[in-house]
Each structure stands twice: as C-alpha cells, then as structure tokens.
C-alpha cells in the first residue's frame, strides 16, 4: 500500500486499537494468573501477529519475548498446514521443534478467523512456575541437556475446533510440581487470547477484514521506514564489543559474547562469530531469543514513537554461529538462557555506545537475578519459590541510574516481600540498598541491593542465577564499574560463598543472601557536582571515604557540607595523576 492510499486518521485509530488490544490481553493475564512469577513479577508477553506470523503489535511486557512469536507461529503453520480451524488453540514450549525459547515459557496461540478465512493470531507466552526437570522452578543452570529441564511440548492443539484436548492438559498437570498454579496460569493465557480475539473482531466489524490487513501491512512498512531513517542518520562504520558471563559453575567459563556490528547506509549487520561454543549448562540462548536481544538493543536508541511492529527488524541482519552459546544445537540445555539474552543486549549496547555515546547508558546489574527455593512445606505439600529481581541501571547521558527498574530487556517487576512470604515457606530477612555499590561517574550508577531469605520449609533445593562478579557492570565515557555481585549461604562465621550460577541444598532454617551488582557510572566522576555527591552521602548511597577517594569531594568535619577549596585542590591533584 502506498503512502498516498493511507487515511492517516484511520491508520492512527487502527494502530492504537491494536496496541490497546495487546495491552488489554496483558492486563487480563496480570489480573487472572495464579503464580507470583506471572501475576507479580510480570514474566509474560502478549502479541497480535499477521496470518504469516509477523508481529504487528506487542503488549508493554518483555522485549526479549518479541522476537520469538514469529518462530512459534511458523511452527504452528508448518505443522498444521491445512488443518488450522476456527476454535483451535495451540500450545508449545520446545525450542528445538517449535520455536520456543525455554521450557518454562509456554505459548498459547489462538488463530482468529473471519468468514472462515484465517486473519491472524493472538498469542501469549508466560513463564510457568514449574514444568518439571532437575530443580523446582525448572530454571536449572546445572542441566547438561534439555531432557533434564522438564516437559517438552511440541506445537500441539490444546483446543480442537473449540473443544479442549483433555489429554494435553492431563500430560502437563502430571509432569509439573505445581499443577494448580500451572493450569491456572494457562487458563489466564486462554482468557487473554479470548479477550484479544474479541477486540480484534470488533475492529474488523468496524473497518472490515481487508482494511485491517491492509493497515497492518502498512504498520509493518511504516515501522521499517522509520527504523531505516534512524539507522541512516548514524555514521557508517564497523564497531566491536565483547562482554562476558562469569559462568563460574563450569570449566568452560567465562562465556564470551562477541559483537561485530557494521552500519552501512540504512542497514545494520551484526555478527556474533567469536562468541563461545555452546556449553554443558542451561545458559545457551536459542536463536529467536538472541535475535530479540539484538533487535531490542537497536530499538533502545531509536525514537520511542516507532511502533513495536516487526517491520523495524527488516534493516537489522543477524548472523550467529551454529552450536554456539547464542545459537545452540540440540540437545543443548537452555533453562536459564535469560542471562545470555541479557548479555547479548549489553554487548550490543556497548557497540552502539561507540556510535551514539549521547544515547547509551552504562551497564546495569546484568539482568534479573534469580533465587529459587523449592521442596516441601511442613505439611508435605510442594512449593517452588521463583524470585526474579533486578533494578540497578547504569548511569546515562541524562542522569543517574535508576534503582528498582528492571533491565530494559525484561521489563519485569520485583515481587513484593509480603507476597513471597505468603505464598512460600520463607521469610525475607533483609531487602536493602548497599552503600558505595553504584559505579562512580558524572552520573552515578544505581545502587545495588541485598536480599536475604531464610528457608522455613523442609530441606530443599536452592537454585541461583546471577552474574557480574568477575566481570562487573562496565562504565562508559570515563565512568567506573559498579560493584560486583555476591552469593552467601548462611552468612556469618560458617558462611559459604557460592558461585554466580549455583545449585545446592538448603536446609530448614538455612539462609541465602544475594548481593546484586551495582550499575556502572557514566562520565568522569571528578566532574560530578560536589553538592550531588554530598546529597548521596546524606542519603546513605555513598560513604564519606568514597566521596573523597572516588569523587574527589572533601566534606566538612561534621559531614554536612562540602569543603569547596579542599575539594578543588584534591580534584586538581587527582586529575594530574590520571
């Protein structure tokens, strides 16, 4: 459709109607889900896709899920060609047969028909609280192959022409530790798909199926055109960046993520050759997940008004070597692949920072840390606490890093302490910021925080997914690194330091403490306003000693004011020593 054929008012109404559709689906999941990881942590996504699987609109949920819907829908289209009927609903999670991204992420996909013709798909993907496997919560970092990670679901019909396929429900319930929560979350996904279908049909009733299809195509083309304009404004050239995952639980660690990026005209070419081979641990990232991380990084430097339609993917070309940690081959394990997706985005942003330093912040905490505790309550019932939490962004060109705001790839929420304690036999002893953890800079990195949890259940399994200890969050434009992370079992005289990726036993009354990494700083810390440093000291973010040693700011003897002459002398000395 040419630009001249578009009615701009109708285009905006349809675009916003589709955005509202997927957001309404997302709200439905949040309000009706059973498990904390879905309804509180918000680990799910919603989308509307064209009949050939292209994402037209995505809810305001998780960026790393965006690139996976086309692969999932292509698996449905390929397997069920000629057998997709009105009333069908499909379910899948397997990354090697069906476009999934790891087994806890279960897709529910519903085709939408008009006059018996397939118009498109509405879909949800939600992180289930458990799908079996080595550890409660199914996020094992120790798995050696995908067969250890839980129930694999190839693309199947969960509903056939409107009738539930009870055998599939039964198989799922039998293979998970928490069948009530899992079935409840799947029901919430089904409800969201019904809401999405109804809203889409309302738009079709108003404008007609052919018009909605035409404007959807125009939306894809518009997002591509806007993306190409943004890329064309960037300087041509080749840029490289390398980042690492500590992966201190395996001999192959650390894991290398290598990005080679070339900007040529209105296109970007990204080559991940040089990244580590796939590893015998659950951190390998399926290709759709890796691609989504690259797309998301580029999207972050673009105008936020560009629609979240897959058209903006078209100018971005990605090459990832097979059998690598960013494009694994069967049967490589992938349960904790999120950490690799985060690192791919971080490495890509490191390369983009060389192109547009005024748009890219310093590195953050490295993505959501996970404390998983699972086993039996005192009454013999099973539980699986899956606590994803994050929130130490790097300082950026416009200001200090934000605390409590998740990594841009995930857009998740931190589960309230009260919810964790109500739903699981645990008590959260501490949840607090750590002084001097944010990387110094003209704009300071966000403080990290500690979370300390006591297991009140029977002896069970502890699963940790964290990072950024040996390779802490990087600073940019002269900013310094943030503080490294730390995992401590039973803090005190008999404490044990655990790896960043760890699976262990945790007894009744035992304690796990995680100290998240702090955000990196942006810009020279000696250029930070002395008053801002004083405010940080008064707020408990920065110690008096760190103010002097890392920012060159000397405070008065009572610590309530800046000694400006002494500060100037010290900063002059530090500048000459640099």
Please tell me the distance from the alpha carbon of residue 218 to that of residue 234, in angstroms, as a whole number: 25
Are the beta carbons of 116 and 123 closer than 8 angstroms?
Answer: no
CA distance 504 to 488: 12
Among all chains, which residue has been given the structure tokens 């990387």?
A: 439
Question: What's the rounded Cα separation, in Å, for the pair 105 and 124?
Answer: 10
pLDDT at 1: 44
Q: Is the pLDDT of residue 348 over 80?
A: yes
DSSP line for 233-294 = TSPPEEEEEEEEE--TTSTTPSEEEEEEEEEETTEEEEE-TTSPBP-SSTT---HHHHHHHH
Position 4 confidence tier, pLDDT thresholds 50, 70, 90: low
Q: Cα-Cα-Cα-Cα dihedral of 518, 523, 524, 525, to 10°? A: -40
What confidence tens digit (pLDDT) does each residue in 94-145 have? 999 999 999 999 999 999 999 889 999 999 999 999 999 999 999 999 999 9
pLDDT for 67 equals 74
User: DSSP E strands: which ranges in 357-425?
Assistant: 369-376, 382-389
Q: Given this model, what pLDDT does residue 467 score?
A: 97
Q: Is 81 exposed, middle or buried (0-12, 13-18, 19+ CB in 10 A)?
A: exposed
Q: What is the pLDDT of residues 179-220, one digit of tens each?
A: 999 999 999 999 999 999 999 999 999 999 999 999 999 999
Q: d(Cα 308, Cα 26) in Å, to the nearest integer?
A: 15
Residues 140 and 468: their CA atoms lie apart, in Å, by: 18
The kind and range of the H/E element at 514 are strand 511-515
Q: Which residues contact 12 (CB under 8 A, 6 or more apart)?
A: none
DSSP 209-230: HHHHHHHHHHHHHHHHHHHHHH
Residues 6 or more apart whose CB falls under 8 angstroms from that of 299 comprise 63, 306, 308, 312
d(CA 285, CA 292): 11
**pLDDT by residue (tens digit) across 41-84?**
999 999 999 999 999 999 988 988 877 899 999 999 999 999 99
pLDDT of residue 411: 86
| Averaged pLDDT score across all residues of the chain | 96
Q: What Rg, from alpha-carbon coordinates, does the chain have? A: 24
Using alpha carbons, list the distances in angstroms from residue 48 to 151, 291, 342, 529.
Answer: 26, 19, 24, 47
CB contact at 8 A, 142 and 75: no
* Distance (Å, whole) CA 360 – CA 396: 7
């Amino acid at each position: 459709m040419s630009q001249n054929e578009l009615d701009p008012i109708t285009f905006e109404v349809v675009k916003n109607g589709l955005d509202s559709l997927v957001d309404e689906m997302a709200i439905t999941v949040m309000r009706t889900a059973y498990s904390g990881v879905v309804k509180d942590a918000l680990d799910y996504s919603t989308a509307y896709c064209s009949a050939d699987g292209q994402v037209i609109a995505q809810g305001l949920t998780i960026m790393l899920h965006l690139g996976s819907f086309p692969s999932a829908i292509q698996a449905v289209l390929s397997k069920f060609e000629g057998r997709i009927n009105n009333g069908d609903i499909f379910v899948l999670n397997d990354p090697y047969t069906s476009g999934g991204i790891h087994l806890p992420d279960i897709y529910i996909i519903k085709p939408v028909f008009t006059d018996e013709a397939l118009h498109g798909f509405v879909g949800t993907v939600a992180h289930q609280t458990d799908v079996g496997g080595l550890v409660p919560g199914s996020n094992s970092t120790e798995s050696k192959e995908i067969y250890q990670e839980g129930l694999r679901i190839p693309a199947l019909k969960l509903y056939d022409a409107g009738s539930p396929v009870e055998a599939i429900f039964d198989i799922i319930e039998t293979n998970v530790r928490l069948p009530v929560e899992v079935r409840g979350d799947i029901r919430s996904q089904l409800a969201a798909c019904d809401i999405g279908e109804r809203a889409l049909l309302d738009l079709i009733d108003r404008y007609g199926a052919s018009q909605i299809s035409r404007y959807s195509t125009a939306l894809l083309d518009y997002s591509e055109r806007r993306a190409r304009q943004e890329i064309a404004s960037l300087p041509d050239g080749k840029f490289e960046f390398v980042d690492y995952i500590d992966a201190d639980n395996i001999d192959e660690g650390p894991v290398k993520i290598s990005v080679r990026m070339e900007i040529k005209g209105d296109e970007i070419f990204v080559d991940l050759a040089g990244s580590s081979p796939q590893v015998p641990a659950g951190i390998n990232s399926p290709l759709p997940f890796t691609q989504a991380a690259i797309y998301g990084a580029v999207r972050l430097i673009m105008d936020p008004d560009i629609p979240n339609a897959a058209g903006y993917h078209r100018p971005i070309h990605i090459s990832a070597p097979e059998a690598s940690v960013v494009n694994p081959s069967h049967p490589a394990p992938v349960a904790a692949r999120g950490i690799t997706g985060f690192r791919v985005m971080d490495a890509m942003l490191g390369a983009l920072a060389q192109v547009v330093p005024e748009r890219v912040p310093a590195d953050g905490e490295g993505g959501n840390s996970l404390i998983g505790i699972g086993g039996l309550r005192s009454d013999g019932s099973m539980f699986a606490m899956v606590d994803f939490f994050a929130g130490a962004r790097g300082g950026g060109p416009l200001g200090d890093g934000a605390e409590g705001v998740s990594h841009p790839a995930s857009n998740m929420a931190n589960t309230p302490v009260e919810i964790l304690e109500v739903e699981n036999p645990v008590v959260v002893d501490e949840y607090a910021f750590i002084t001097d953890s944010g990387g110094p800079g003209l704009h300071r990195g966000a403080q990290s925080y500690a979370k300390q949890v006591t297991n009140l259940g029977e002896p069970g399994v502890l699963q940790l997914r964290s990072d950024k200890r040996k390779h802490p969050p990087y600073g940019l434009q002269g900013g310094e690194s943030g503080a490294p992370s730390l995992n401590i079992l039973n803090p005190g005289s008999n404490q044990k330091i655990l790896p960043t990726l760890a699976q262990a036993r945790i007894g009744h009354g035992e304690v796990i403490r995680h100290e998240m990494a702090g955000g990196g700083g942006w810009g020279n810390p000696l250029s930070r306003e002395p008053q801002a440093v004083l405010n940080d000291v008064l707020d408990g973010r920065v110690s008096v000693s760190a103010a002097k040693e890392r920012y060159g700011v000397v405070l008065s003897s009572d610590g309530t004011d800046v000694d400006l002459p002494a500060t100037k002398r010290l900063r002059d000395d530090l500048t000459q020593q640099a």
